[in-house]
Amino acid sequence: MRIGFVSTYPPIECGIATYTESLTKALRAARNETFVVSQFGAQGERVFALYQPQSPSFAADVFYTSTRLTPDVMHIQHEYGLYGTQKGVELIELILRYRLAGLPVVTTLHTVYERLQRDERILLKPIVENSQAVIVHEAFQKDTLVDAFGMAERIHVIEHGVREIEPIQDAKAKLGLEGKKVILLAGYFRPSKGFHKIVERFPEIAARDPDVVLVVAGKVRNIEFDDYQREFFTRLNASPVLDRIRILRGQFPQYTFDTILSAADVMVLPYERGAQSGMFAQALALQRPVVASNLRAFRLLAERSGAGLVVERDEDWVETILRVLSDDALRRRMQANARRYVRERASWRLIARRHVEVYHGVVTVPYGKAEYVYFPEPEGHPSAYGEDRPLPPSDRGAAVLDKAS
């Protein structure tokens, strides 16, 4: 099957970009073809970077390029604000263009809150009505959409995929944290992450356990939430236990981030708002215990995986974090649960298989018993474009479009 994606894509800094990269790799490993139409700045094999998010011609540009690549289905990764003004209203035009052309559309809604706001309801209604299938990550998100719009039969629940990987064994040594109990806060610095809650309470944690250190690893994205970031770092650097805090700043390559995460004894997600978290998935991949705020998506994932504890009140952060750090048996049990959850339920290999089932449910072909076949081109194989080796992504994309003309 040839699956086209509309999404951000690395090295663009976005959780949706990372999600799409992982999903497309897993789909290709299962012998499906994929391509991605993305923003300027995206790079990769069969990735076509051709629009600015605020472009008034977004829908037409994406439609004409993607349809020339003859996909069996288009899969849109939705997040508010990725596709133009007013939280991405231009995406509705794109979906309608696909519908008029008879091309099936699957849309993954990455953010669906328990209660839809007015603007969310206005935007999501035509997306759900005009997509042949909709994917969400939690059952309560499906319930929210069904209560608002009906159409339960087209809404599918597929969990966030998780990488299958072993922790970096010498991670603490690489970071100079040998013999320490490491609390990790990781991600972009913004108010909704709630990192300030843990910074405020860390002096009490440090007073009760002399071996604990706090690692704050992340970066700012552009100049968003500039006031909050200044206030956060002012508070962080004024901490009376600053000597027990490590601040790691940067856009970390995957191995670097995996090393930082592997050094953690517990990852803390004190989010104040959110419908799902790629960071929770990263913690599961490296088998790191999680202590998270009582958001519904976090609570459900902690229950499913057995790899997380949920804090219902802000007063409980200190005790819950110290419980994980002090109870070796609990920590080992949570790590084993994470490993089992990924292997049996949430690996990208399994998640890709469930996506293919959704695609087959919306794609109709008039070929009877015809079987789709695809073998990834090995390195060095003479390409169809007259070269002895595969073209770089940008040139390869141009060649495909030139041949289609």
Could you tell me which residue, 350 or 376, shows the higher pLDDT?
350
CA angle 133/139/141 to nearest 5° reads 70
Per-residue pLDDT reduced to its tens digit, 213-226: 999 998 766 566 77
Compute φ and ψ for 250, nearest 5 degrees. 155, 165
Q: Name the CA radius of gyration of the chain, rounded.
A: 22
What's the whole-number mean pLDDT along residues 6-24?
A: 93
Q: Provide the token pair at 358.
A: 């959704």
What's the pLDDT score for residue 393? Answer: 47
- Please report where in the chains the tokens 């995206």 appear, as a residue: 42
Q: Provide the token pair at 214.
A: 């706090």
Q: Which residues make Cβ contacts (< 8 Å) with residue 177, sequence separation at least 6?
A: 213, 215, 246, 263
Could you tell me which residue, 395 or 5, shows the higher pLDDT?
5
| CA-closest candidate to residue 116, choices 106, 104, 128 | 128
* Termini Cα distance of the chain: 22
- Indicate if the pLDDT at residue 402 is higher than 60: no
Distance between CA 17 and CA 44 in Å, rounded? 12
- Indicate if the pLDDT at residue 359 is higher than 50: yes
Q: How many CB atoms lie within 10 A of CB 280?
A: 25
Peptide bond into 11 cis (omega under 30): yes
What's the whole-number mean pLDDT along residues 347-374?
A: 86
Per-residue pLDDT reduced to its tens digit, 368-385: 567 777 777 777 776 554
What's the pLDDT score for residue 404? Answer: 37
What's the whole-number mean pLDDT along residues 155-168?
A: 96
Q: How many CB atoms lie within 10 A of CB 248?
A: 16
- Indicate if the pLDDT at residue 390 is higher than 70: no
What's the pLDDT score for residue 368? Answer: 59
Residue 246 near residue 218 (C-beta atoms within 8 A): no
- Kindly state the helix (H) or strand (E) to which residue 158 belongs, with its residue range: none
What's the pLDDT score for residue 389? Answer: 44
Biggest alpha carbon–alpha carbon distance for the chain: 72
Compute φ and ψ for 134, nearest 5 degrees. -125, 135
Instruction: Identify the band that residue 388 occupies on the pLDDT scale cut at 50, 70 and 90.
Output: very low
- Indicate if the pLDDT at residue 367 is higher than 80: no
Residue 272 near residue 191 (C-beta atoms within 8 A): yes
Per-residue pLDDT reduced to its tens digit, 218-254: 876 656 677 777 888 888 889 999 999 999 987 788 8
- Kindly state the helix (H) or strand (E) to which residue 325 belongs, with its residue range: helix 317-326
Per-residue pLDDT reduced to its tens digit, 169-205: 999 999 999 999 999 999 877 788 889 999 999 999 9
All structural domains of the chain, each given as residue ranges with its CATH number in brackets, are 2-161+348-392 (3.40.50.2000), 171-345 (3.40.50.2000)
Residue 69 near residue 98 (C-beta atoms within 8 A): no
Q: Provide the token pair at 100.
A: 């008029």
Q: Which of 53-57, 187-191, 348-352 has the highest mean pLDDT?
A: 348-352
DSSP type of residue 378: P
Q: Of the given ranges (7-21, 97-111, 349-363), which has the lowest mean pLDDT?
A: 7-21
